[in-house]
Amino acid sequence: MADSGKFGGDEVAGAKEHHEESTLDELYQAVIMELSRRPHNKGNIPDAQIVTKGNNPICGDRVIVYGKVSPEGTLEHVTFEGKACSICTASSSMMTDMMRGKTLDEAGMISDHFKAMMRNEVPFEVPEELPDMEALEGVRKFAIRVKCATLAWTTLKNGILEYKAGRGESSIDESCAT
Ligand code: ZN
């Protein structure tokens, strides 16, 4: 009798916790679904200096990130396209909003910080300019989906590194030709 009483108590507590979690998840899901249906900055930039592909084989997400770099070295415009799950598409949309106007170095740091947040290595902070990012906090519970959320961010970072390396090479070529 004592056993069955204890078991019953656990069941109720478990069910309540589960209910709270699913309410939160529904809230997050609404934001993620809305952004995945109508992502910001979807499409290519014909004269982008940064064009980088990102691939997440675990989920099958594929994105191409485009970045237009201003003469001052800031990201004038960032877009993405590709086939991706809702978390990846929503997170890509947030990334393009977040990175606009940032310098290449700032964008690289923001990408690293976002990745660390999603991996639970640093506390989760929602930037003032991007309140929707709160919806991704819940994704951290699902290790397998973390890469969906980080794909576009790490892809842009790779693109920035390639761009910087490429620019270095071309300036050497130019001086050789003259
Ligand atoms: Zn995915």
pLDDT of residue 25: 75
Which residues 6+ apart lie within 8 Å of 97 measured at CB?
40, 41, 129, 130
Whole-number Å distance, alpha carbon 142 to ligand 1 midpoint, is 11
Whole-number Å distance, alpha carbon 56 to ligand 1 midpoint, is 7
Whole-number Å distance, alpha carbon 48 to ligand 1 midpoint, is 25
Percentage of the chain with pLDDT > 90? Answer: 74
pLDDT in tens, 98-123: 999 999 999 999 999 999 999 999 99
Residue 68 bridge partners (DSSP): 77
pLDDT of residue 16: 47
Average pLDDT score over residue span 145-154 = 97
Angle at 121 between CA 118 and CA 126, to 5 degrees: 50
Prediction pTM value: 0.81
pLDDT in tens, 69-99: 999 999 999 999 999 999 999 999 999 999 9
Instruction: State the average pLDDT for the chain.
Output: 85
pLDDT band at 167; cut points 50, 70, 90? confident
pLDDT in tens, 169-178: 333 333 333 3
In the structure, ligand 1 is a single-atom ion and the residues with CB under 5 Å from it are: 59, 61, 85, 88, 148
